[in-house]
Structure 1
């Protein structure tokens, strides 16, 4: 066994991890006390798992885990049943159905939901396994080619188990800008009338106010 996890924190509000003392978590045992700050938490993990994980990280840069694509629960008899199947998952491609009871995985009896999940995830993506299921009171062997457990599914699982560790702070709201009153539109000033240009024209007039008459010498002297 090896102590793997012992965190530190400097925040005024430390993360609280709610584990019971010596509770089995995943593939290890938590040695911290209940509701202890994460800085005092330590977890013991089998050395073979640590070696496997570290070597895979060195080789590929990440850990690959098998994925079946089902939701499971234990019924009243303690058997593990399939209650939902994800679309386009290995389980759907293998024709598994809701209501199937998983009895064995690779000839090993399935004792609990945790045991089945652990056995699936410790196998590599692309590996073909044999599941013995019970359907309509008949036992059937089903071969399933495992997919890869994605980072998205890992995060969803961790968020459901440790919600306080994955609280994303909301972005601050932008400051409120006071709404300015709408400006009233001023009425458009009336357009000035076009100037009337006065002009004399003789082409349409028959007379211009004078007339000519012959005069004699006496009148011309005036």
Structure 2
């Protein structure tokens, strides 16, 4: 199938932006949504805007973001890993995009996917379980609709299941079992009605199910503790 000349084929990827400088040009509602997500991913956030909304002002007062209180300048891109152009000024949007392209900085332009080099999909996050939906910028409304439907289908129990499987993998991989045997064990665990037990917070039921398939060297109690820890931290948030 031939792709139209003005159509981009986006490559899906998850980025580790913890501790990296992310620049946001603009201080309104769109910028606020971007910044909220960036902070959840532990990014260093710098906002350049003459004015910002009350929420961003509070974040700046709390030293959770850096607010540069002026209009955008070319050197604001220095050292940035990602840049978000989120202003209502078309000439600023174009200038930020031009500089990002010249300096090979990844850019998200809020109002113009054609200027962007990355898009931020609609997301459902349950702990380490992440679902992302994108229409390539063609229909944010459709992405939001699908996100709402997925949020109903995939609840906090999926985040807890991921935590359980991660704890199981940590125990098993450190042992002298063959990788084929490991894969078989993982599939056996997932074939159990364990998701239903987790949804009901029936930890004793989870323990009994695991006892059916776990080899003797795997401590099921440690796996249950991993669930309790994640449950306390919270696993049902959406971003």
TM-score with structure 1 setting the length: 0.27
Structure 1 or 2: larger strand share? 1
| Structure having the higher Rg | 1
Structure 1 or 2: larger helix share? 2
TM-score with structure 2 setting the length: 0.25
